[in-house]
Amino acid sequence: MALLAAIVGMITAVVAMPPASAHGNPYERGPDPTVESVAAERGTFATDELDVEPSHGFNGWKIYYPKDTGLGTWGVAAVVPGYTASWKDEGAWMGHWIASFGFVVVGIDTNSPTDRDDARGRQLLAALDYLTEESPVAGRVDPDRLGVMGHSMGGGGAIHAATQRPELQAAVLFAPASFSQDLSGVKVPTMVIDLGAGHHADFLFDEPTSRAAPCRRHLPCCRCAPKNHPFPSPVISRWAARTGHPCP
């Protein structure tokens, strides 16, 4: 119940903010979010998928995208799983869901399942480059509205990607783990969702283990998971996808 209350509280706080209307916001796609829509099984848009072959600087996997071609281009999320995990086993459930709210999603496998944070970050950027420049859906995406997501070591990879490419519009870190990253060089709007009972994200904030303590005051951070370091629940990830991804 405490977890549910935390999730609902976060969602309510976000959707209570005055929404931009479609008339005043050229980037908005679909209806304004509500608590119910964020927790729903699907968003507004019908979606499709494409396989990505292992090449282009990462180990392939899937692109998910809205079928609608009448609303212009879409914001992008590149997502990488955690250490030793595959996209199919850990992240594929979220691909169509995020896309159904008006995003093009590329979920990747890493070149090696044991790739560290910096390698995962480079592969996230390679996936964004492929998606926006070479993929069959390149014409559907807005190259100025790109974001990255990662779980565990993938979260460390998302930090690396955000550090290397400050023009990104968003980074979302699920229970991030890293051997070498912190937030001291990150200029990208970043959401940290610490899902581990062991407070995995402490390395980002707590002195002396992080040089990023001054960033804490303007980075959203929430701890809202039960035990055993689960991968993000659908409700948490849906909320993050709808409210924390590329936006104007």
Q: What is the pLDDT of residues 34-71, one digit of tens each?
A: 888 877 888 899 999 999 999 899 999 999 999 998 88
Q: What end-to-end distance do the CA atoms of the chain give, in Å?
A: 34
Alpha-carbon Rg of the chain, whole angstroms? 17
Contacts of 60 (CB under 8 A, 6+ apart): 51, 52, 53, 54, 108, 109
Q: How is the chain split into domains, by residue range?
A: 43-243
Neighbours of 69 (CB within 10 A): 8
pLDDT digits (tens, 9 = 90+) for 77-119: 999 999 999 999 888 888 999 999 999 999 999 999 999 999 9
pLDDT digits (tens, 9 = 90+) for 121-144: 999 999 999 999 999 999 999 999
CA dist., res. 36 & res. 29, Å (int): 17
pTM, two decimal places: 0.74
CATH 3.40.50.11440 holds for 43-243: no
100's tokens: 């159904």
